[in-house]
Structure 1
């Protein structure tokens, strides 16, 4: 008897030639994965035209000492909903541990803490998320859709967004230029 291996805390990479063009070269932190499905937050594509201070202003928050960082396109589901992926040196009442990689918070508390200079030492904001129903992600992985890499913190927090896809493959010891756009059948 085998047990299901869940992949929360890993970085999900779109395979070359992925069947859904919305996810081409997609890099997602897999935050939740269990028998009910999965939730990932995209960190590989910048959301054009919106920065951190814009989000704070729309919410009526003073940006305080926060840097005016770019915002990631977190995924196609609920594109107006914000998420902060952050280092584990900060946690609020709603923080979800995405072990061993980071924390995930989606409350006003984390935004206020960042604006006040009392938030996590490392963080990324994304709008939207990617979601999969029960068994959907596993099916997509079997059909050459995704690769579940280890959770590499240096990729998450120290690599520019446009380099995260390639950097994650390299951290796995794989040259992405050698990957095929399709799978075979034996």
Structure 2
């Protein structure tokens, strides 16, 4: 049953006044939003790691033409030693959470092995960690003007250069972040 208030498959776009170093100027893809809370992956922060570092740590030998030099994202501050793969198409991996019928997030070794062997999903982002909110926490932060939210867009996730994602996600909902004031107005 779909919850009409769910933010699953939405972007959370940090407002310019959000000072938390984990989320300032960030775009987070909400992968799951339910009565128990919310989980997402930040799509515009990088670690200093590359996939070859992850493959090496896991004992996976990549093909020569693999994605070993692809960057690894910082998906959020929770469980930053755990890997998450946002990918399209969905495929059949050992542990996948479907975000939509077209793409999802997987946490199993088999998808990383497939990526190393050039038989993985067409589009993907590998991230360490995730962003999480307890029951009601995200809703409260949205009412406090910390976040904008709007429908996610796979082109922004997988194709747009990293430094353009924050402004592009806001533009999807008709907001120019450079014109916003940090002062809240009350009627």
- Structure 1 equivalent of residue 17 of structure 2: 17
Q: How does 1:1-186 map to 2 (within 5 A)?
A: 5-48=5-48, 50-64=49-63, 65-67=65-67, 68-99=69-100, 102-186=103-187
**Contact 2:15–2:177, Cα closer than 8 Å, also in 1:** no
Partner secondary structure for residue 58 of structure 1: helix
Q: How high is the TM-score relative to the length of structure 2?
A: 0.92
The runs of 5 or more residues in structure 1 that have no matched partner are none
C-alpha separation in 2, matches of 1:118 and 1:106: 17
Q: How high is the TM-score relative to the length of structure 1?
A: 0.92
Compute the RMSD of aligned alpha carbons.
Answer: 1.6
Displacement of 1:95 after TM fit?
Answer: 1.2
C-alpha separation in 2, matches of 1:4 and 1:105: 24
Displacement of 1:4 after TM fit?
Answer: 6.1
**Contact 1:94–1:105, Cα closer than 8 Å, also in 2:** yes
**Contact 2:80–2:129, Cα closer than 8 Å, also in 1:** yes
Partner secondary structure for residue 11 of structure 1: strand
C-alpha separation in 2, matches of 1:52 and 1:17: 33
**Contact 1:85–1:125, Cα closer than 8 Å, also in 2:** yes
Q: Which runs of 4+ in 1 moved over 4 A?
A: none
Displacement of 1:90 after TM fit?
Answer: 2.4
C-alpha separation in 1, matches of 2:168 and 2:4: 28
**Contact 1:46–1:73, Cα closer than 8 Å, also in 2:** yes
C-alpha separation in 2, matches of 1:88 and 1:151: 16
C-alpha separation in 2, matches of 1:158 and 1:100: 19
**Contact 1:101–1:152, Cα closer than 8 Å, also in 2:** no
C-alpha separation in 2, matches of 1:140 and 1:12: 11
Displacement of 1:20 after TM fit?
Answer: 2.2
The runs of 5 or more residues in structure 2 that have no matched partner are none
**Contact 1:101–1:151, Cα closer than 8 Å, also in 2:** no
Displacement of 1:121 after TM fit?
Answer: 0.2
Q: How many residues align?
A: 183
C-alpha separation in 2, matches of 1:40 and 1:47: 17
- Residues 107 and 177 of structure 1: CA distance in aligned 2, closer, same or farther (over 3 Å): same
